[in-house]
């Protein structure tokens, strides 16, 4: 139990939806009670436009610059949605560093779309370029000078990017994303850490030029989002030209050199890493070949069990990027744990698929075929809408919860399987709209009341009408079963109730 009075945290997306329960003090003398009146929560609001302007005013004099405050504010205002993006203080810092490069050569800024990942791309390259010039101005000797010459001839910025990509991937692979790396020259010289923190000249130069901070023997990226950014870069090589590589050929080459289990998207479920997902979503939107690569991973899961985690991450990214799967053949895909919230899967073929634990909240799945799919733990959230060709006047749920009946204006009754929300049968016989529906306690029969002044007793299994109950002079508005299932009752607008055995 923590003995604290004030807790400060950031990046609340990692706390989870029920984080309050972890921090609300226990109520004295109450069994499992919470003292909500003792819990106060304050949230730092995003920067307002006035605060952004004040920040820019203080930022400009820090270093010699060609731009003045008005230049920065004009660009921040002119580029669509950029002001919303930089309400985060760290992103504002990145944006101010990157803006001159981002708008270079651009005339109509109103058509310029700047994404979060583009700001990080520009900032990372700018940082390395500044540090390259700093190292060139130093009077290095012997090994360090030779190492710098090698790095310069091989592309200093590119080597710096690769160094940080590999480090970010190693942190997620070896430390499950914990950002702080402790390095001891004696104890860790035979571990994975040596590649990044040894005393070799080229390693020192790359490390000192990187976006890393150091406190004693502890190293970390200067911001958690920088770690996440470089991991996303490791997933997809940002230097790859869309015109240069075919995505399927690239995937095949990957498979020849390492197994799909070694793919970074196979490492872990990235649903719990929303910042990484967002970086990769923006990559998909900017680089069509990355989208094709992700689609190839989903397709690979049909035949390769080991591709399931990579496929789950891939389809999560694709759906977030706006990719639609309406009518797509997704039979036998394996995507356990994927988050396809809001995805478009109308009429998709998902037979024999592994959808265990998939989040289908607000997904469009009309006429999707889920036959024989593994759907344990699937989350629908607010269940999907069921669209019919005519108005729905009544509905009923079977006692076991497996069947849903909808009474239509046409007199038809549509039956749905609640596991997949696909229409399984249509009962036809009534001549007009269905006002009342009720399942028998056993679920073997369905009772309906109609505007055609009749009630019908249906077999849930054979779709046949077993009895037609007549005698009402007006519409049958309500029907009901007795608890024992041996009697039924119907009521009409004539204030008449009839019972039947």
Under a CB-based contact definition with an 8 Å cutoff, are residues 200 and 146 in contact? no
Predicted pLDDT at 258: 55
Bridge partners of residue 395, in order along the sequence: 406
> Of 450, 438, 426, 425, which Cα lies nearest the Cα of 487?
438
Q: What are phi and psi of 130, to 5 degrees?
A: -65, -45
Q: How do strand 465-469 and strand 476-481 relate by DSSP bridges?
A: unpaired
Residue 448 forms beta bridges with which residues?
437, 456
Closest Cα partner for 443 from 404, 501, 408? 404
* Separation between Cα atoms, residue 464 and residue 459, nearest integer Å: 6
For residue 243, the model assigns a pLDDT of 44
350: left (phi over 0), alpha (psi -120 to 50) or beta: alpha
Stated pTM of the model: 0.68
At 27 the pLDDT is: 74
Query: Please, what are the domains in the chain?
Result: 49-114 (no CATH), 125-232 (1.10.10), 241-274+281-385 (no CATH), 392-500 (2.130.10.10)
Going by C-alpha positions, the residue among 212, 119, 97 that lies closest to residue 166 is 212
Q: How far is CA 429 from CA 13, 388, 432, 446, in A?
A: 53, 18, 9, 13
**Distance in angstroms (rounded) separating the CA atoms of residues 337 and 356:** 6
- Grouping H, G, I as helix, E, B as strand and the rest as coil, residue 499 is strand
The tens-digit pLDDT sequence of the chain (501 residues) is: 567 778 777 655 556 556 777 778 777 765 556 777 778 888 778 899 999 999 999 999 988 888 999 999 998 888 887 888 788 888 898 889 888 888 888 878 787 788 889 889 988 998 999 899 999 999 888 999 999 999 999 999 999 999 999 999 999 999 999 999 999 989 998 999 999 999 999 999 999 999 998 888 999 998 898 999 999 999 997 655 444 444 444 454 444 445 888 899 999 999 999 999 999 999 999 999 999 999 999 999 999 999 999 999 999 999 999 999 999 999 999 999 999 999 999 999 999 999 999 999 989 999 999 999 999 999 987 665 788 889 999 999 999 989 999 999 999 999 998 877 888 999 999 999 999 999 999 999 999 999 999 999 999 888 889 989 888 889 999 999 999 988 999 998 776 666 665
Residue 382 has a pLDDT of: 65
3-state secondary structure 124-138: HHHHHHHHHHHHHHC
**Which are the contacts of 217, defined by CB distance < 8 A and separation ≥ 6?**
182, 183, 184
Burial 429-465 (b: 16+ CB within 10 A, else e): bbeebbbbbbbbeebebbbbbbbbbbbbbbebeebeb
């Amino acid at each position: 139990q923590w003995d604290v009075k004030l807790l400060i945290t950031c990046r609340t997306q990692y706390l989870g939806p029920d984080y309050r329960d972890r921090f609300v003090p226990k109520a004295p003398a109450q069994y499992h009670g919470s003292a909500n009146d003792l819990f106060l929560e304050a949230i730092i609001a995003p920067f307002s436009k006035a605060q952004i302007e004040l920040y820019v005013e203080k930022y400009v004099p820090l270093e010699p610059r060609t731009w003045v405050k008005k230049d920065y504010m004009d660009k921040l205002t002119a580029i669509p949605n950029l002001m919303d993006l930089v309400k985060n203080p760290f992103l504002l810092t990145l944006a101010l560093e990157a803006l001159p490069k981002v708008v270079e050569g651009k005339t109509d800024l109103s058509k310029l779309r700047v994404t979060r990942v583009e700001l990080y791309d520009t900032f990372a390259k700018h940082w390395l370029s500044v540090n390259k010039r700093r190292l060139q101005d130093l009077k290095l000797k012997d090994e360090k000078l030779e190492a710098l010459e090698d790095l310069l001839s091989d592309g200093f910025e590119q080597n710096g990017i690769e160094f940080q990509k590999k480090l970010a991937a190693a942190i997620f692979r070896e430390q499950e994303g914990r950002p702080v790396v402790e390095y001891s020259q004696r104890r860790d010289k035979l571990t994975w850490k040596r590649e990044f923190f040894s005393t070799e000249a080229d390693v020192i130069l790359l490390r000192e030029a990187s976006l890393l901070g150091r406190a004693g023997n502890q190293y970390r990226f200067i911001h958690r989002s920088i770690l996440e950014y470089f991991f996303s870069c490791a997933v997809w090589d940002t230097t790859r030209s869309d015109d240069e590589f075919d995505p399927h050929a690239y995937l095949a080459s990957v498979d020849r050199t390492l197994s799909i289990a070694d793919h970074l998207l196979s490492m872990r479920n990235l649903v719990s890493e929303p910042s990484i997902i967002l970086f990769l979503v923006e990559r998909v939107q900017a680089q069509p070949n990355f989208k094709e690569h992700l689609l190839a991973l989903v397709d690979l899961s049909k035949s390769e069990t080991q591709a399931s985690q990579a496929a789950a991450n891939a389809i999560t990214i694709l759906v977030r990027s706006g990719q639609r799967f309406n009518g797509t053949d997704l039979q036998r895909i394996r995507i356990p744990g994927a988050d396809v919230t809001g995805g478009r899967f109308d009429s998709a073929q998902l037979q024999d698929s592994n959808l265990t634990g998939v989040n289908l909240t607000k997904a469009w799945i009309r006429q999707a075929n889920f036959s024989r799919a593994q759907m344990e733990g699937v989350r629908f959230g607010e269940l999907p809408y069921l669209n019919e060709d005519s108005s729905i006047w009544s509905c009923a749920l079977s006692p076991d919860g497996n069947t849903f009946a909808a009474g239509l204006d046409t007199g038809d009754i549509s039956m749905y399987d609640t596991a997949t929300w696909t229409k399984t049968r249509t009962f036809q016989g009534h001549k007009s709209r269905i006002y009342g529906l009720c399942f028998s306690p056993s679920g073997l029969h369905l009772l309906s009341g109609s505007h055609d002044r009749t009630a019908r007793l249906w077999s849930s299994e054979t779709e046949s009408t077993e009895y037609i109950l007549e005698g009402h002079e007006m519409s049958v508005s309500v029907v009901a079963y007795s608890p024992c299932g041996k009697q039924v009752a119907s009521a009409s607008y004539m204030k008449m109730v009839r019972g039947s055995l």
